C-alpha cells in the first residue's frame, strides 16, 4: 500500500509562508503551526523539516533574503558603495526589526547558527570578489580580513536601524563606503 504522494513544492510553500509571516507580521508572531496553515499543509509537514522556529527562519532567510549583487565597477570604492546599497535595502525593510528576536534565539541553536554563518559567507562572496579584484588591480597590496571589511560596511547599517531608528540616507551610505575604503586602503598600504 503506497503512502500519500510527496508534494515536491511543499518545502518551498512552507518557506514562502514563513517569509510572508516574517515580513507581514513579525518573528514573534510566527509559529510553526501558523506556517502550516498559511502553506495549506499539516503541522507535521513543518515539524518534520524544522524542529524549531529558529531553524525554520534560518532556512527562510537563506532562500528569501534579498541578494547582494555581484558587481564589478572597476573600483573598490564603487564596489563598496554598491554593496552597502544592497545591504541598506535589507536593513531598511520594515521586517528587519522582527529579526532582532531571532538573532537572540539563534544563540541557543548550533545548527541554526551554522546555517546562518553559511548564508553569511555565501552572501559575502561578492565582497570577497571585490577585494580580490582590488588586489589584482593594485588598489590594495593584500587581502584584508573579510570579517573586518564586512563589519566596517554592515555595522553602521545595523546601528542606523537598531539604535538611530531611521533608514540610512544616500550621503550616509557614501560615508560608510568611503570610510571603509580609507581604512582598508590605508591598512593595506601600511604593511
pLDDT tens, residue by residue, 69-108: 888 999 999 999 999 999 998 888 888 877 777 888 888 7
> Which of the two residues, 45 and 95, has the higher pLDDT score?
45
pLDDT tens, residue by residue, 3-21: 555 677 999 999 999 999 9
What pLDDT is attached to residue 167? 84
Sort 5 into a burial class: Cβ within 10 Å, 0-12 / 13-18 / 19+: exposed
CB-based contacts of 35-40 (< 8 A; 24+ apart in sequence): 39/10, 39/13, 39/14, 40/13
Q: Average per-residue pLDDT in the chain?
A: 88
What pLDDT is attached to residue 98? 75
Amino acid at each position: 500500500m503506497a503512502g500519500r504522494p510527496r508534494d515536491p513544492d511543499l518545502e518551498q510553500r512552507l518557506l514562502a509562508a514563513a517569509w510572508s509571516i516574517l515580513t507581514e507580521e513579525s518573528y514573534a508572531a510566527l509559529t510553526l503551526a501558523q506556517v502550516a496553515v498559511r502553506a495549506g499543509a499539516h503541522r507535521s509537514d513543518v515539524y518534520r523539516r524544522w524542529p524549531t522556529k529558529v531553524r525554520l527562519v534560518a532556512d527562510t532567510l537563506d532562500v528569501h533574503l534579498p541578494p547582494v549583487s555581484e558587481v564589478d565597477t572597476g573600483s573598490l570604492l564603487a564596489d563598496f558603495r554598491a554593496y552597502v546599497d544592497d545591504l541598506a535595502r535589507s536593513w531598511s525593510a520594515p521586517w528587519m526589526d522582527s529579526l532582532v528576536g531571532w538573532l537572540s534565539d539563534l544563540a541557543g541553536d548550533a545548527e541554526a547558527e551554522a546555517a546562518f554563518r553559511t548564508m553569511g559567507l555565501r552572501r559575502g562572496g561578492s565582497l570577497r570578489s571585490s577585494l580580490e579584484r582590488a588586489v589584482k588591480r593594485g588598489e590594495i597590496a593584500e587581502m584584508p580580513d573579510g570579517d573586518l571589511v564586512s563589519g566596517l560596511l554592515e555595522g553602521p547599517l545595523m546601528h542606523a536601524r537598531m539604535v538611530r531608528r531611521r533608514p540610512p540616507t544616500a550621503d550616509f551610505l557614501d560615508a560608510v563606503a568611503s570610510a571603509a575604503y580609507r581604512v582598508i586602503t590605508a591598512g593595506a598600504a601600511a604593511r
